Structure formats: C-alpha cells, structure tokens
Structure 1
Amino acid sequence: MQLASSGGRRLRHAALVARELALEDGRTVARKELSAAARDAAKALELRNGPRSVLSELVACWGEQEWERLLVWPSNDYLVNRTGLSERGIRKAFRVLIDQQLIVPKESPNGKRYAVKDLAGEVVDAFGFDLTPVYARRGEWAERLIEQKQAREARKRTFDEITIARRAAQEALGSLSREYPDLDRSDLENRLQGLLARTPLRSTKVMAVDMLDEWKTLRSACEEAYYKAGYAGTQCRHTNNNNGSPSEPCNKSFPKKAEAVRSIEQTSEHLS
C-alpha cells in the first residue's frame, strides 16, 4: 500500500515517552501560552532553524480547543509554504522534534493528517501531531534556561580572567625583553605560544577552566622572572648614602650668614 508522505512513520522510543506527558484536568491552553513554551523549548534545546520554524508553525495551528491533548494537523505542503523548507527538510525537522520529545505523531488509518468532525460539523478529534509535551514540560524549559544563563556567566568570567592573565604574562615578557635583552626567556616564550595555540576562542562553548589555571601559572612565572631579573631586593645589597648621625642637629651645615640673621632678630617687646 502506498502511504502518503505524512504517514508510515517509524516508531520511536522518544514518542512513547512523550506520550505519557499530560495536561492538568480541565486545563485549556491558549495559543499564546503554547507559543511561549515553544520558544523556551527551542532556546533550552538549542534547536536549529529548521526544527524551530516547523515547531513555531505547528504551534500557530493550535485552535485552543478544550481537548485533553493539543492536536494539530497541518499538511506538509502547508508547512513547506510557511517555512520555506523543502519537504525533505520538513520530514527531517519532524524527526528532530520527535526525538527531543516535543511532539508526538498521531497516525491516521491512511497515513494522512486530518480532523475528525461530528454530525454537527464540530471538530472532536484529529490525526496529526500532539504538542502536549511542549507545554507540559514548560517547568523543565525554565530550569534549563536558568542553568544555561549561569553557565554563560561562569564561562564569561573564566575567559575574562584568561585575558587578564594573558596580557599580564605578555607584558612581563615584554618588559624582560626591553630591560634585560640578554636574559634567556625562551622557555617562557615557548610556554606562552603553546598556551595561545591551545586556548579556545570565546565564540566556542568550551569551558576553559583548566586553561585558566595554566595561564595563571604562566603569569606567575613571567612576573617572577621579571622580579628576579631586578634582583628582587635579595640578591644584592641596597646602597645607603645616608652616613650622618641622627643625633646631630639638622642645622649643622647652616652658613654663617644664617647665624647673623638670627642675632639681629627683635624681641617680642617690639611686636604690636
């Protein structure tokens, strides 16, 4: 039997897990609430543009029915026109959303998506995709977003400290090269170049905690080498040019003319 492109879907374990999620009894979900949960889910799971666009369009199809499940049934052609993706891209996006336990496929007998209506023409059921997991897991999305924000802040602080340590090490080596050009600093320079090559860029998502420790160690080594190059106050004796005795008066070397000036000073009786 030739099934439509929307049917004949392979069963996935993630779909069975997501199917167990449910809404609270008597809960009616507005499209605005579902859209907010979908945006948080896309951020928390870091979805690519394709699955993110398809999820957004699926949410836009929710009609706010008073159902136990959030069912939508847009066709692949509709999603192709709305997202600009190819039909192959749409199917790939479905697989990603199912594997991430965001949607659950509800297959029809002929593999197509459509609504089931009663004799009065009211939609009472549908075959398509169930968006209940997106909204039911909204607490999980909030927790993940908080954790991601904390991780970004910690990563930023780490790279800031790496930048500070790197600049301090380079400044210390630069001062060594200018003031003590004959001093052997090849080992420190090799370590600096090695760390520069191994340190990841800020644009990556690597947490470079180990690199920070190495940069701090190199900074200490460079500053210690520069400190010792100036004898650090311990390898040679400071010159003391003050050979006078502190018991002698400070006016010992005053000229004679100063004494004459002092002798002609008037007494306090002549003061007004």
Structure 2
Amino acid sequence: MQLASSGGRRLRHAALAARELALEPGRTVTRKELSAAAREAAKALELRNGPRSVLSELVACWGEQEWERLLVWPSNDYLMSRTGLSERSIRYAFKVLIDQQLIVPKESPNGKRYAVKDLAGELVDAFGFDLTPVYARRGDWAERLIEMRQAREVRKRAFDEITIARRAAEEALRALAEHYPDLDRSDLEEHVKGLKARTPVRSTKAMPHAILDEWTALRMVCEQAFLKAGNGGKSCRHTYNNNGSPSEPCNKGFPKKAEAVRSTEQTPEHLSPELILEACPTLSDYGQPVRDLADIVSAGRYLRASLGAHESAWAEAVEEIGTVRAAIAVIYTLQLYEDDVAKNGGESRIKNPGGYFRALTRMVKAGKIDLAVELLAMRRRRMA
C-alpha cells in the first residue's frame, strides 16, 4: 500500500478538493455556528453513527481562534474516550469524513497532531484536521435537505396512492364475491396477492412509481370487471367518431376559452414574473419584455415549440393546470434542458423535452411537484 510521505496517510482527491474551500475574508465562526453546520451536513449526507459522532467531537474541539482555517488537533485516544469507538472505527470515520469533503487532514512532519505556539505562548497554528469545508459548504447542506424533504413528500404521496389503489382493488373483488359469487375471479385475486408481495414497505427509500402504476392498472381492471358484471357482460362503450391520433384533442387546436388568462387564475406572490426571470434566463429567447402574467403566457406558448412538444401537450397542460402554470412549466422545462446541456458538455440527460413537459404537467396536477418551490431552488442554485 502506497502511503503519503507526511504522516503515513493516503493522499485522496476529495481532500485536495475540500482544501480549495475557504471562509469569506474576515469571517469569524463560533462553535455554535460550526456545530449547526455539522448537524445539517450529517443529515444531508445521512452519515452513520460512527462518523457522525467523530464529526461532532471534532467540532466540539474548535476553540474559536481567529484563524483563516478551522483547525482542531484531538488525539485518537481522546476521540475514543469521548465516542466509545475503537481506534479502527475512529480511523474509518476519518476516511468517511475526508471522502465526503467534510474535513481535510493537515499533516505534521512526524505524523502527530499538535498545536504550534509562538514565543509568547499564543496559539498560531496547528496540525490535525481542518473543519473549514463543513462550514463553507453550509449552503449545499441547506439545499440538499430541501431536496430530501421534497423527495420524502413525493414518496409519501406515492405510497398513499398505492394504499388507495390497493384498497379499491380489494373492495372491487369483495363486491364481486358478494354480488356475483359464481363469477371466476381467481386470476384477479392471484394478481392482487402477487402484487402485495412485491410492494415495498413505506420505510424504503426507493421511489415506488413503477409499482404504483401496476396498482393503478390493477384497480381499473378489478373495477371494470365489477362494472361489466353489473352490465350483464356488456361494456356499453360509446361510439367514437375521432379517427385521429389518440394523443391529439378532437378539435385539433387550442380551446379558445383556455387560452386567455382567467380572472380567477392568479398565482401566489412568490410565483411572480420577477422570480421566473431570475430563475429562467432562457426567457431572453422570447425576444419580448415580460412584465405580467399575460407576457408569461405568451412566452410559454411561443417557447413550447422549442421543446418539440406537440400542440396537444399545451392543450392538455392548459386544461389540467391552467394557462399560467402551463406557460411556467414550459419555461421551467426549457431551462432545465438548457442547464443540463451546458453542464454535460452539450449533451442533455433529458432526451425528450416534450415528453418531459407532459410528465411535469401531470405531476403538477397530482401535487407531486410545486412549481414555486422548484423555481425558488433553481434561482438559488443560479445565484450561488
């Protein structure tokens, strides 16, 4: 194993990257502020108990010196006595904290940790660990915690919808058994039983969107079976005169009443044209001044073609979430796409912006995404 020349610690890329982080000029940090940043970092990175305890003890060692770097130098024996961990666990915790760019080792010539004093006995420097990255990245922790809360809310809603669909499917089968006991329903009951076995528990961190789609489809099948049984085996379908594409509206255009900004369709104060302009500079492609909701709607309708979205996608969005939010969804999707292209060297992970716009519209309608929250987060990332 190749070791670094100073103190026998391996050189890590994460340590070099974290070393570039610095405090604002003239900034002083209290132990209380550093401790708050460390707690948010531990939550945002979901640190285990060992690294979390070691980080907490390192922060507690900060003496509030007016230095450019936040240096601490506790020994392994001290940390072992404070945390109850073994020396091997302490060393593993150091590795985790360094890899997560929370601390930076500052090695001494002999590999020991100690403070350096001047002739007057004042502390002027130290060899040990630099906690500057923990505090310098406090904005990252706050943003990540917001994203985690949003993800938890989306996951909770998905599991709630799974519960609703499961109960509806089971109720449909119960009604079939009660009213039509002679009807064969064994296949549906087996399907419900198998799907229940594959449904993850709520404590899982995975997004259950795929299993939700299966439950929704199974609910429809069970309810249709009950409906068909009540109709004497007839489906009673209406005659369809629309021979066009199923994804297109019957009138082949926009509903005129939905194109205007309704008097009752007002956005919250924090979802203002000013916020949209700051979060989405792609509005400059519109080429016209944006001053109010009417301008936002015009810009969204104009930029829809830039997404490659069909007119039916716009019509669906207007019908489902209103004209203003449909326009904001267009602008937000286009900005996401352009940001992704710029970030990934000309290639975006969003392969179908038009399809993304349709999906976004449906998630906004279902309450899974709040456009105001997304725009605030986008503006914060852009300003940072």
Work out whether the TM-score is over 0.5: yes
Closer/same/farther in 2, CA of residues 235 and 49 from structure 1, 3 Å limit: closer
Q: Which residue of 2 aligns with 1:223?
A: 223
Q: Deviations over 1:214-241 (max 9, x none)?
A: 11111011011111111269689xxxxx
Is the aligned partner of 1:82 residue 2:82? Answer: yes
- Residues 175-214 of structure 1 mapped to structure 2, 5 A cutoff: 175-214=175-214
Closer/same/farther in 2, CA of residues 144 and 72 from structure 1, 3 Å limit: same
For normalisation by structure 2, the TM-score amounts to 0.59
Q: Which residue of 2 aligns with 1:118?
A: 118
Q: Which amino acid in 2 is paired with 1:46?
A: E
For normalisation by structure 1, the TM-score amounts to 0.82
Task: Tell me whether 131-140 or 209-218 shows the greater mean CA deviation.
Answer: 209-218
Closer/same/farther in 2, CA of residues 39 and 199 from structure 1, 3 Å limit: same
Matches of 2:42 and 2:82, distance apart in 1: 18
Q: Which amino acid in 2 is paired with 1:219?
A: R
Q: Which residue of 1 aligns with 2:132?
A: 132
Q: What secondary structure sits across from 1:116 in the alignment? A: strand
**How far did 1:16 drift?**
0.4
Matches of 2:63 and 2:25, distance apart in 1: 18
- Residues 45-124 of structure 1 mapped to structure 2, 5 A cutoff: 45-124=45-124
**How far did 1:210 drift?**
1.2
Q: What secondary structure sits across from 1:167 in the alignment? A: helix
Q: Which amino acid in 1 is paired with 2:227?
A: Y
Matches of 1:170 and 1:205, distance apart in 2: 26
**How far did 1:213 drift?**
1.1
Matches of 1:19 and 1:133, distance apart in 2: 8
Q: Deviations over 1:78-98 (max 9, x none)?
A: 000000101111000000000
Q: What secondary structure sits across from 2:127 in the alignment? A: strand
Q: Which residue of 2 aligns with 1:157?
A: 157
Closer/same/farther in 2, CA of residues 110 and 209 from structure 1, 3 Å limit: same
Q: Deviations over 1:178-215 (max 9, x none)?
A: 22121111221122122112111101111001111111
Matches of 2:48 and 2:66, distance apart in 1: 31
Q: Deviations over 1:8-47 (max 9, x none)?
A: 1111110000000000111111100000000000000000
**How far did 1:120 drift?**
0.4
Closer/same/farther in 2, CA of residues 158 and 36 from structure 1, 3 Å limit: same
> Identity rate of aligned residues, in percent?
81
Q: Which amino acid in 2 is paired with 1:220?
A: M
Q: Which residue of 1 aligns with 2:339?
A: none
Q: Which residue of 2 aligns with 1:142?
A: 142
Matches of 2:158 and 2:83, distance apart in 1: 39
**How far did 1:58 drift?**
0.2
- Residues 228-247 of structure 1 mapped to structure 2, 5 A cutoff: 228-231=228-231
Q: What secondary structure sits across from 1:125 in the alignment? A: strand
Closer/same/farther in 2, CA of residues 232 and 148 from structure 1, 3 Å limit: farther
Q: Which amino acid in 2 is paired with 1:62?
A: W
Q: What secondary structure sits across from 1:66 in the alignment? A: coil
Matches of 1:63 and 1:234, distance apart in 2: 80
Q: What secondary structure sits across from 2:189 in the alignment? A: helix
Matches of 2:28 and 2:40, distance apart in 1: 19
Matches of 2:219 and 2:232, distance apart in 1: 17
Q: Which amino acid in 1 is paired with 2:8?
A: G
Q: What secondary structure sits across from 1:127 in the alignment? A: strand
Q: What secondary structure sits across from 1:74 in the alignment? A: coil
Closer/same/farther in 2, CA of residues 104 and 234 from structure 1, 3 Å limit: same
Matches of 1:118 and 1:205, distance apart in 2: 52
Matches of 2:13 and 2:235, distance apart in 1: 72
Task: Tell me whether 101-110 or 179-188 shows the greater mean CA deviation.
Answer: 179-188
Bigger relative contact order, structure 1 or 2 (CA pairs below 8 A, ≥6 apart): 1
Matches of 1:217 and 1:200, distance apart in 2: 17
Matches of 2:235 and 2:95, distance apart in 1: 71
Q: Which residue of 2 aligns with 1:32?
A: 32
Q: Deviations over 1:120-148 (max 9, x none)?
A: 00000000000000000000000000000
